[in-house]
Structure 1
Amino acid sequence: MTFAARLTFDNIQHRYHHRETIRNLSLSVEPGEVLCLLGPSGSGKTTLLRIAAGIEAQSAGRLLLNDREIAGPSAFLPPERRGIGLMFQDFALFPHMTILDNVRYGLTALPKAEARAEALNALDRVGLAHYAEKYPHALSGGEQQRVALARALAPRPGVLLMDEPFSGLDSRLKDSIRADTLAILREARATAIVVTHDAEEAMRMADRIALLRDGKLVQVGTSDDLYRKPVDIFTASFFSEINLFEGRVERGRVKTPLGEFDASTYADGQRLDVAVRLSSVNVLEEGGAVPARVISRRFLGVVEFFMLAVPGSDQPVRARIRADLVPPGLRDVTLSVNERDILLFEKAGDSD
């Protein structure tokens, strides 16, 4: 069993060539929790992981493991003394070593026989003990990923760091390998930080998600929190495709090309950004509140993707609906939107 630890980033700052890459970021990962660091390329996810591992030093702030400072003004523990494991994106298996020797590589503090037993136990945990004497080239990408996970877990780290661990896998394998990895982490009771740029992957794996942008923490919470209660347009658009409109509050309502919606929590005259998820737009043969014309439609299997022209909008409205609901060849349709799916945000920089 892994001895799960709490890892705390306390007001972390980092600069690279005079450019701020991490900006006053504070975040805690609880024992046994799986936290995903999510964000676009360049948001600071991997830098934060490297700081946690001890590969990179922060410019300011502290890193605490179980409330003990391991990097900061008072201390800087080298990577090998932190009790933090790191699983690389490319797995980094040694091609000239057997699978068993790869897993045993980080167990140098143990006697040889005990290290072998621990390595075999870690391989058994990921279902690959029968490959112990094979070499990495004989294994599939998914199997190599599980070996890398076994190697990272073998020393029983307090925290396991995983840098986009599924990015090199075939898309057909990702779902099953991801599910297997999560099951292994749960069984090991490991504290884990997983870096990804894929919102769906984060939602599938994480107890909580920390969304980063330009080195700043935008929002942290459960997948439900970030999807249903995004703090801004960036968060909303990161978790789903949206149609975006501008509107002004009048008598507690905001008007858009897709209809009027409740805005009673905002002051009259306030300008708003109104976000409507593609999945929230219903395309109907008749009976909808808004007339529309089909510009194009694409069959995507389970769903169809529509581009639609509507009165009052210079930009096409996009929609994803279940396939075969709209008769083929139909040009003139109607649209409806469920008001509970509308997301309202105060317009950035509005001083009216």
Structure 2
Amino acid sequence: MAIDEAGRTRRTTAGVTFAARLAFENISHAFSPGSETLRDVSLAAEPGEVLCLLGPSGSGKTTLLRIAAGIEPQATGRVLLNGREIAGPSIFLPPEKRSIGLVFQDFALFPHMTILDNVRFGLTALSAAEARHEAMIALGRVGLQSYAGSYPHVLSGGEQQRVALARALAPRPAVLLMDEPFSGLDSRLKDSVRAETLAILRESRATAIVVTHDAEEAMRMGDRIALLKDGRLVQAGRAEDLYLKPADLFVAGFFSELNVFAGKVRGGAVETSLGAIDADGLSEGVHATVAVRTTGFDVSESEGATEARILSRRYLGVVELLELAVPGAESPVRARVRCGALSAKARDIWLSLRKSDVLLFETRRESA
């Protein structure tokens, strides 16, 4: 932490690293025969990019990270750093030879070591004086230089996370891997620590791969997002690509709470309890799934396309969460609407759909 002319402390600028391209080619992995954790995954993090690995528990995110770090070997496929194979049929570089840093989910700080000693722990190739100098620079990047002589137990969860980040950045890695780095933080701290971490990554210019199960977190941090399910890569791209053009219902449901309806294309539309939905190019007779985001409704007490009755409403601050009975719907329809859109006494209302929040997927073709 530097001190300016007014005597105020400030976080120093992160030292620049030489960002690398990390690529996975046809990676498969299994902890036991017949139980694959990764299935033919091909993916790349470009130089200086923040790539978020997103998916539910058991989707293979952390396993892919461990394979990149050299902690876990893959069954098939290759890992390449700037086009050079670092793990594959012909070579397996150990973790310390890969120029890849890793921030664990639980920070993995040594409680009996000072903050400075924790950060310089991996700088074994340097002299004691050089290691101390680099460690202090790394602590300055995260604004914790003044805690160099303290021990981890005196720090908050957010500060411990920043120490773990400093330790990973101290060797100036070409790629930084972060496994659920904010999952242990209080919800009130997450936003600020996440923003600080992203700023440090941008300054250091290291390529970063961040594992998370939180879609909003992935959208906030990632230049691109790779969504995994059951060990397979389902879709990769920018946040807006996955949100606006999801590859399937699983992707759509990971980024939005949905109301789902089944139907069949007749006359260029799918008939649902919310009305006819434009089939948008699907063939006649195809069975389709219509997904409507809970945010996709305009509500009125006097006019609209579909009648509904309010079953329950929950005040959430900016919005209200409504459960609605709609004629023909097998289960209640959920809607998030702006607070104040309906009077306190409203019961029978009208709904109108916003087309941008309606998604359509082909489910299966009718058998002959």
* TM-score category (smaller protein): over 0.9
* Shift, 1:350, TM fit: 5.4
Residue 13 of structure 1 is aligned with which of 25, 28, 35? 28
* Contact in 1 for aligned 2:286/2:364 (Cα 8 Å): no
* Residue 35 to residue 310, structure 1, CA distance change in 2 (3 Å): same
Render the CA deviation track for 1:122-179: whole Å, top value 9, x for unaligned. 0001111111111111111111110100000000111100000000000000000000
Match status 1:198 vs 2:211: no
**Residue aligning to 1:170:** 186
Q: State the number of aligned residues.
A: 352
Q: How does 1:304-315 map to 2 (within 5 A)?
A: 304-315=320-331
* Contact in 1 for aligned 2:119/2:163 (Cα 8 Å): yes
How high is the sequence identity, in percent, across the aligned residues? 68
For the residues of structure 2 that align with 1:120 and 1:108, how far apart are their CA atoms?
Answer: 15
* Shift, 1:283, TM fit: 2.2
* Contact in 1 for aligned 2:85/2:91 (Cα 8 Å): yes
For the residues of structure 2 that align with 1:2 and 1:244, how far apart are their CA atoms?
Answer: 47
* Contact in 1 for aligned 2:296/2:356 (Cα 8 Å): no
* Shift, 1:261, TM fit: 2.0
**Structure 2 SS opposite 1:62:** strand
For the residues of structure 2 that align with 1:153 and 1:256, how far apart are their CA atoms?
Answer: 53
Render the CA deviation track for 1:287-314: whole Å, top value 9, x for unaligned. 1110000111111111110000111111
* Contact in 1 for aligned 2:310/2:348 (Cα 8 Å): yes
* Residue 184 to residue 351, structure 1, CA distance change in 2 (3 Å): farther
Match status 1:128 vs 2:144: yes
Match status 1:36 vs 2:76: no
**Residue aligning to 2:350:** 334
For the residues of structure 1 that align with 2:306 and 2:66, how far apart are their CA atoms?
Answer: 51
For 1:175, the aligned partner's letter is D
Render the CA deviation track for 1:258-302: whole Å, top value 9, x for unaligned. 121221411111111000000002222121110000111111111
* Residue 85 to residue 297, structure 1, CA distance change in 2 (3 Å): same
Residue 180 of structure 1 is aligned with which of 183, 196, 200? 196
* Residue 350 to residue 69, structure 1, CA distance change in 2 (3 Å): farther
* Shift, 1:59, TM fit: 0.4
For the residues of structure 2 that align with 1:109 and 1:267, how far apart are their CA atoms?
Answer: 64
For the residues of structure 1 that align with 2:145 and 2:364, how far apart are their CA atoms?
Answer: 56
For 1:46, the aligned partner's letter is T
* Shift, 1:340, TM fit: 2.8
Match status 1:51 vs 2:80: no
**Residue aligning to 1:111:** 127
* Residue 238 to residue 348, structure 1, CA distance change in 2 (3 Å): farther
**Residue aligning to 1:71:** 87
**Structure 2 SS opposite 1:76:** coil
* Contact in 1 for aligned 2:319/2:337 (Cα 8 Å): yes
TM-score calculated relative to the size of structure 2:
0.94
For 1:76, the aligned partner's letter is F
* Contact in 2 for aligned 1:282/1:319 (Cα 8 Å): no
Mean Cα deviation higher: 211-220 or 342-351: 342-351
* Contact in 2 for aligned 1:248/1:254 (Cα 8 Å): yes
Residue 99 of structure 1 is aligned with which of 115, 118, 124? 115
For the residues of structure 1 that align with 2:302 and 2:18, how far apart are their CA atoms?
Answer: 60
For 1:227, the aligned partner's letter is Y
